[in-house]
């Protein structure tokens, strides 16, 4: 049943059972009621008249919410820091779904200590959550993208590294010990020394230890995926959003396309017999996308392209995380792309 309501930029008023309910902008109820009205979900509007009901709209039955707004999972209240973050996001009109997804993953972590320590690490600037509940962290690597300690672990974007959990040290009093290390930008930047900083995606379930030292700026994990190159600017401190829309995937999808083709192939000497075979071979019309075209452009040609296309090329095939926010315009983007190409040639 449709309810009388009034919504302005500053408040929302709903009349239910003859009684007006008014909520100011910035409250959880304001955002929840507004969204329910726009969806013409009148049951949702009624539920959103209380703090607990509003949060329950976001939780979608996966978490229980008391009338006072306390959120629980599996019969246990969430840590205060996470409860605060959920309310803060909902109050700003942001979906707290990433926090709910994060905690569901965290609850699968078998270590009590890791569960308690992890959110302290996430408070550092530039450590965002993904919508699916995983989070992003940084790792300093050598010029050839191997790890700085052993030189044997590949950290090229796209690589998934994992080891048995019981091989990773869970002693927080030992700062450097067995296991894969990722950290905040301040920590990771001290380790690459002429190499690179890459962005890693970590499932909270795979965090083994947050050492007591370094002000919780690093951690040991048993699994992580390298998703891209750092664009030399901090990531968001809240939620990370994909830089390419789904509609861009057809043009900028990087399947079977090297982002750094440029003129590498032209530099190689070709055997005369191979050259003859190539000349006699009938041409095959293969579909091309923008990624393959840009991969063959030199720096001068790249500078002639639009800033929008350069950002999509950098964020997609080149896997430069944060490319859309990189200051310095075309020169900065092309410079970053060329630097990565030169690294590949060495």
Model pLDDT for residues 302-336, shown as the tens digit of each residue: 999 999 999 989 988 899 998 888 888 899 989 98
Please list, residue by residue across 277-298, b when 16 or more beta carbons sit within 10 angstroms of its beta carbon and e when fewer do: eeeeeeeeeeeebbbbbbbebe
Calculate the average pLDDT of the chain: 84
Q: Same domain for 133 and 176?
A: yes
Where are the alpha helices (H) located in 8-65, listed in sequence order?
28-38, 42-47, 51-59
Q: What average pLDDT does the segment 104-113 reach?
A: 93
- In which domain, by residue range, is 210 found? 112-230
Q: Same domain for 270 and 339?
A: yes
**What H or E segment, with its residue span, contains residue 321?**
strand 320-321
Return the pLDDT at 64: 92
Return the pLDDT at 236: 85
Q: Same domain for 211 and 254?
A: no
Instruction: Give percent of the chain with pLDDT exceeding 90.
Output: 31
Please say whether the dihedral angle defined by the alpha carbons of residues 171, 177, 178 and 181, taken in this order, is positive or negative: positive
Phi then psi dihedrals of residue 2, to 5 deg: -70, 135
Q: For residue 62, give the DSSP letter.
A: S
What is the Cβ-side half-sphere exposure of residue 342, based on CA atoms within 13 angstroms? 9
Q: Same domain for 330 and 261?
A: yes
Confirm whether 288 is domain-assigned.
Answer: yes
Q: Same domain for 37 and 119?
A: no
Confirm whether 186 is domain-assigned.
Answer: yes
Per-residue CA distances from 255 to 155, 164, 292 (Å): 19, 30, 10
Q: What average pLDDT does the segment 167-178 reach?
A: 84
Confirm whether 102 is domain-assigned.
Answer: no
Confirm whether 236 is domain-assigned.
Answer: no
Report which of 222, 232, 226, 256 is spatially closest to residue 108, judged by C-alpha positions.
222
Model pLDDT for residues 252-265, shown as the tens digit of each residue: 765 455 565 544 44
Q: Same domain for 208 and 138?
A: yes
3-state secondary structure (DSSP) of residue 331: helix
As a whole number of angstroms, the distance between CA 242 and CA 65 comes to 30
What total number of domains does the chain contain? Answer: 3
Confirm whether 103 is domain-assigned.
Answer: no
As a whole number of angstroms, the distance between CA 79 and CA 106 comes to 12
Return the pLDDT at 51: 84
Q: Same domain for 133 and 218?
A: yes
Model pLDDT for residues 192-234, shown as the tens digit of each residue: 667 899 999 999 999 999 887 767 788 999 999 999 999 888 8
Q: Same domain for 62 and 151?
A: no
Return the pLDDT at 166: 94
Task: Answer whether 26's CB lies under 8 Å from 40's CB.
Answer: no
Task: Answer whether 135's CB lies under 8 Å from 221's CB.
Answer: no
As a whole number of angstroms, the distance between CA 93 and CA 87 comes to 10
Q: Same domain for 52 and 121?
A: no
Residue 289 clears pLDDT 90, i.e. is over it: no
Confirm whether 100 is domain-assigned.
Answer: no
Q: Same domain for 266 and 331?
A: yes
Model pLDDT for residues 86-100, shown as the tens digit of each residue: 888 888 878 888 999
Which of residues 170, 197, 230 is at a domain's end? 230
Which of residues 30, 63, 95 is at a domain's end? 95
Confirm whether 201 is domain-assigned.
Answer: yes
Q: DSSP string of 245-271? A: -GGGHHHH--TT--TT-TTTGGGS---
Q: Same domain for 274 and 218?
A: no
As a whole number of angstroms, the distance between CA 31 and CA 36 comes to 9
pLDDT band at 266 (very low <50, low <70, confident <90, very high): very low
Confirm whether 237 is domain-assigned.
Answer: no
Q: Same domain for 252 and 336?
A: yes
Model pLDDT for residues 9-56, shown as the tens digit of each residue: 888 898 988 899 898 888 888 888 888 888 889 888 898 888 888 888
């Amino acid at each position: 049943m449709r309810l009388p309501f009034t919504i302005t930029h500053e408040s929302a008023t709903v009349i239910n059972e003859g009684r007006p309910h008014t909520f100011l902008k910035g409250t959880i109820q304001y955002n929840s009621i507004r969204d329910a009205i726009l969806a013409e979900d009148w049951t949702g509007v009624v539920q959103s008249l209380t703090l607990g009901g509003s949060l329950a709209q976001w939780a979608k039955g996966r978490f229980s919410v008391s009338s006072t707004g306390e959120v629980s999972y599996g019969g246990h209240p969430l840590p205060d820091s996470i409860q605060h973050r959920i309310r803060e996001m909902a109050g700003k009109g942001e979906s707290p779904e990433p926090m709910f997804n994060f905690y569901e993953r965290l609850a699968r972590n078998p270590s009590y200590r890791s569960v308690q320590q992890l959110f302290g690490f996430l408070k550092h600037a530039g450590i965002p959550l993904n919508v699916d509940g995983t989070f992003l962290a940084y790792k300093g690597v050598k010029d050839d993208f191997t790890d700085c300690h052993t030189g044997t672990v590949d950290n090229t974007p796209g690589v998934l590294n994992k080891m048995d959990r019981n091989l990773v040290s869970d002693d927080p009093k030992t700062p450097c010990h067995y296991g894969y290390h990722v950290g905040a930008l301040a920590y990771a930047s001290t380790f690459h020394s002429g190499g690179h900083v890459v962005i890693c995606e970590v499932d909270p379930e795979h965090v083994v230890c947050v050492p007591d030292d370094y002000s919780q700026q690093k951690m040991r994990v048993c699994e992580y995926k390298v998703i891209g190159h750092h664009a030399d600017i901090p990531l968001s401190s809240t939620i990370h959003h994909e830089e390419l829309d789904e509609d861009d995937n057809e043009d900028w999808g990087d399947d079977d396309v090297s982002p750094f083709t440029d003129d590498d192939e032209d530099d190689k000497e070709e055997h005369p017999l191979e050259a003859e075979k190539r000349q006699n071979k009938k041409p095959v019309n293969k579909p091309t996308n923008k990624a393959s075209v840009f991969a063959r452009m030199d720096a001068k040609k790249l500078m002639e392209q639009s800033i929008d296309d350069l950002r999509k090329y950098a964020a997609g095939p080149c896997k430069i995380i944060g490319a859309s926010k990189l200051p310095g315009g075309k020169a900065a983007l092309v410079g970053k792309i060329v630097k990565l190409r030169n690294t590949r040639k060495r």
